[in-house]
């Protein structure tokens, strides 16, 4: 502590009484300042963590549902339902808390369809869970439907 007091450039200009007060109280003052700084840093870092946690993303996909030729089970090639003229189907990647928007256009021509979000609870948005006639109307050929839901904690199903 004595070294810190010496390092103050104006210390030698102070009166003896002021110096003795400083000698007595400076360690405490510096400790309090250090404590305040650590509290301040802790508060700032807590805010940053909260900000990071509350910053959910929105992920958007455009899925055209089409017939494609594929051999999913290794038996023989045939017409299967694909997305954007591809099979295997593309993954949807999101984090818990994110909003997922999927613009679906049914281009099958002869078949209705929906997307089922197996494994997600879909709390509050069961009308978008894809079970035709149970929780959602079918997306008829030539029509579109936009899925829009927030990813909650998934089940283990």
Task: For the CB of residue 118, give the shortest distance to Cu ion in the complex, in Å.
Answer: 3
- Work out how close the CB of 116 gets to Cu ion at its nearest, in angstroms, rounded to a whole number: 6
Long-range contacts, 18-25 (Cβ 8 Å, 24+) = none
E-assigned strand segments in the chain: 58-70, 78-83, 99-106, 144-150
Applying CB under 5 A, the site for Cu ion has a residue count of 1
Indicate the residue among 4 and 118 with the shorter CB distance to Cu ion: 118
* Shorter beta-carbon distance to Cu ion: residue 78 or 118: 118
Q: Which is nearer to Cu ion, 48 or 131 (CB)?
A: 131
Min separation Cβ 147 and Cu ion, Å: 15
Asked if 154 touches Cu ion (CB under 5 A), the answer is no
* C-alpha 31: how far from chain center: 39
C-alpha 117/C-alpha 147 separation (Å) is 10
Are the CB atoms for 114 and 141 separated by under 8 Å?
no
**Nearer CB in complex with Cu ion: 6/118:** 118
Of the residues 4, 69, 78, 118, which one makes contact with Cu ion according to CB under 5 A: 118
Beta carbons of 146 and 101 less than 8 angstroms apart? yes
Burial class (CB in 10 A: 0-12, 13-18, 19+), 133: exposed
Choices 27-35, 58-66, 111-119, 142-150; region in contact with Cu ion by CB under 5 A: 111-119
Residues that bind Cu ion in the complex, under the rule CB under 5 A: 118
């Amino acid at each position: 502590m004595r070294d810190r007091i010496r390092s103050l450039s104006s210390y030698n200009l102070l009166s003896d009484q002021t110096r003795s007060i400083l000698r007595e109280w400076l360690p405490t003052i510096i400790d309090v300042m250090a404590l305040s700084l650590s509290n301040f840093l802790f508060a700032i870092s807590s805010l940053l963590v909260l900000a990071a946690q509350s910053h959910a993303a929105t992920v958007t996909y455009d899925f055209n549902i089409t017939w494609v030729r594929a051999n999913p089970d290794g038996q023989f090639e045939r017409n299967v339902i694909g997305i954007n003229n591809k099979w295997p189907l593309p993954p949807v990647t999101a984090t818990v808390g994110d909003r997922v928007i999927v613009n679906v256009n049914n281009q099958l021509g002869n078949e209705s369809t929906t997307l089922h979000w197996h494994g997600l609870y879909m709390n509050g948005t069961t009308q978008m869970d894809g079970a035709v006639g149970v929780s959602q109307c079918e997306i008829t050929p030539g029509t579109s439907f936009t899925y829009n839901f927030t990813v909650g904690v998934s089940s283990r199903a």
